[in-house]
Amino acid sequence: MSPYPAARRFFRFSGTVVGLISGRKTRVQLTPNMGVDVNGIAAAALLTGVALVAKTVLPWSRAWLLPAAAAVPVTAFFRDPTRRTPTDSDAVVAAADGRVLSIGHVTDERLGAGEWLRIAVFLSVLDVHVNRSPVSGRVLAITESVGGYAAAQTSGAEHNVAQYTLLETSRGKVGVAQRSGLVARRIVNRAQVGKRLNAGERFGLIRFGSRTDVYLPVGAALPCVAVGDRVLGGETIIARWKR
């Protein structure tokens, strides 16, 4: 049996994915409450195509089952559920799903001079990895920081590859750091300098286990979570601005 029909079907499917990406569509809505990031669609397309070609070229083998089965959990990793962001103007919401790793005062020259209240959240491979803006504001700067790939829940992650997004808000500047991890090696940041992000709005993701930190001006906000708490990106209130 010729593999060409399978290849043609695969390339048609891949063409659809390329169209999604080139059209700047970032997600596909599957149900009223669940979508998938376009990166997940691309990964599913690749694995499905490999399975299709393998089944056609090697009809006596079950090798095609491996990529076909992998397509499901890989797509699930890129799931993007609908979230209900609080309308409270004093609320600062989590930038990602996960577990609160640390809360404390830090300095970070990548965000400028001064001290920050940082709330760090660790994302396991089972968590939703879509990143959301913790507050509403205009994007002032996006900075890429070179470094290593230490486990995201260790102190070494402070020097991992990361992307910093700095927002200008009515309450002061707010930073979000997307940090790579031991397994996570790709950071996607779709924010644009000069454009506005609304609280809870999606702006990127990190692949396969990572960490997302929110930086707030010291003295301007009070934490509403504790170390070890589970949070949902765009929904859980992690801090409140002082009045």
Q: Is 191 exposed, middle or buried (0-12, 13-18, 19+ CB in 10 A)?
A: buried
Catalytic residues: 210
- Rounded distance, CA 206 to CA 184, Å? 7
Sheet holding 91-93, edge to edge: 91-93, 237-241, 221-223
- Rounded distance, CA 31 to CA 193, Å? 32
- Rounded distance, CA 136 to CA 200, Å? 8
Contact predicate 39/189, CB 8 Å: no
- Rounded distance, CA 31 to CA 25, Å? 17
Angle CA(98)–CA(99)–CA(105) in degrees, nearest 5?
A: 115
DSSP-assigned letter for residue 113: S
